[in-house]
């Protein structure tokens, strides 16, 4: 079989936890390691074509509160560890998606436990595939790790930048982990602009952190929610933001990816101008 016929594709193996952090903290849901990678966040934004004017509003505007609580960051629990000789090798077996959350929670006891203000985003096994591009078939599959991602939730709202992203190996061992988990203190209330006005600002290109790339045509905004974004270290304030959850048309992959890499977020400052 010629080299043209065989193509090795690595799916889901994140080569550097720091890369995940960079994407997750700015809320570009990694791809999903968009998580939301996104990434993860959460969400990833891939190489795209088009602009904000191509966005299609495919959801209703939520009712906007007059104000929302604002918080100051007291501290950040930060962990970044890995076992390279285990993280980047194939395994005899890895946890299933159903088994992974319980194993992750058990392993997190070493790192202070699973925070009460966390929400499970995904648990997905990662494999290395030997793929035949001529026949479009998987000829061989090897286990690599199972990724588990948690996002931080504050008063029912997502905190962009509060994340636990880990990979499990054989017997549920944590072989790679990135944890960025701020602790906060309430400092008062801040006035909030309506979601409709935030959408207008988004269409004018006034996203809080602009996407790195361009947005493909037929991309739809499928949900709009209030949330927070970590914008600095200890002593800084959480930024109230309107989060626009967007979904781009799927891109063909060989073999088909188990991840929805088409999800990403765009955020607009939700506070009233002084």
CA distance 269 to 229: 10
- State residue 35's pLDDT score: 27
Asked if 77 contacts 178 with a C-beta cutoff of 8 angstroms, the reply is: no
Q: Of 265, 268, 264, give the one whose Cα is nearest residue 204.
A: 268
Task: Decide: pTM greater than 0.95.
Answer: no
Specify the 3-state DSSP secondary structure of 254. coil
Q: What is the pLDDT of residue 261?
A: 57
Helix or strand run (H / E) with residue 84: helix 84-87
Q: How far is CA 126 from the centre of its chain?
A: 16
Averaged over successive runs of 10 residues, the pLDDT of the chain (274 residues) comes to 36 34 30 29 38 84 95 96 89 96 97 96 90 82 94 96 96 96 96 96 84 76 96 92 90 62 86 74
Give the model's pLDDT for residue 239: 94
Which pLDDT score, from 0 to 100, does residue 73 have?
96
Q: Which of 64, 66, 27 is nearest to 180 (CA)?
A: 27
The continuous run of DSSP H or E covering 24 comes out as helix 17-25
Q: Classify 87 in phi/psi space as left (phi over 0), alpha (psi -120 to 50) or beta.
A: alpha
The answer to whether residues 83 and 176 touch, using CB atoms and an 8 Å cutoff, is: yes
Residue 248: CB atoms within 10 Å: 20
Computed on alpha carbons and rounded to an integer, the radius of gyration of the chain in Å comes to 20
* Distance between CA atoms of residues 235 and 66, nearest Å: 26
């Amino acid at each position: 079989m010629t080299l043209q016929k065989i193509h090795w594709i690595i799916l889901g193996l994140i080569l550097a936890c720091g890369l995940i952090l960079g994407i997750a903290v700015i809320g570009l849901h990694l791809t999903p390691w968009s998580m939301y990678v996104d990434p993860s966040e959460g969400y990833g934004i891939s190489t795209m074509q088009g602009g904000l004017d191509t966005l299609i509003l495919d959801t209703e505007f939520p009712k906007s509160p007059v104000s929302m609580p604002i918080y100051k960051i007291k501290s950040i629990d930060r962990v970044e560890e890995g076992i390279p000789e285990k993280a980047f090798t194939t395994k005899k077996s890895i946890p299933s998606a159903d088994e992974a959350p319980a194993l992750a929670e058990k392993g997190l006891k070493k790192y202070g436990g699973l925070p009460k203000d966390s929400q499970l985003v995904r648990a997905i096994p990662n494999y290395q595939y030997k793929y035949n591009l001529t026949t479009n078939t998987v000829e061989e599959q090897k286990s690599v790790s199972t990724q588990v991602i948690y996002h931080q939730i504050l008063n029912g709202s997502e905190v962009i930048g509060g994340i636990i992203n880990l990979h499990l190996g054989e017997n549920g061992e944590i072989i790679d982990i990135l944890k960025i988990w701020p602790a906060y203190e309430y400092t008062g209330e801040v006035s909030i602009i309506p979601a409709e006005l935030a959408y207008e600002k988004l269409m004018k290109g006034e996203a809080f952190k602009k996407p790195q790339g361009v947005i493909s045509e037929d991309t739809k905004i499928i949900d709009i929610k209030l949330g927070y974004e970590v914008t600095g270290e200890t002593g800084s304030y959480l930024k109230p933001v309107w989060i626009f959850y967007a979904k781009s048309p799927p891109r063909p992959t060989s073999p088909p990816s188990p991840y929805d890499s088409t999800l990403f977020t765009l955020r607009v400052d939700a506070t009233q101008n002084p």
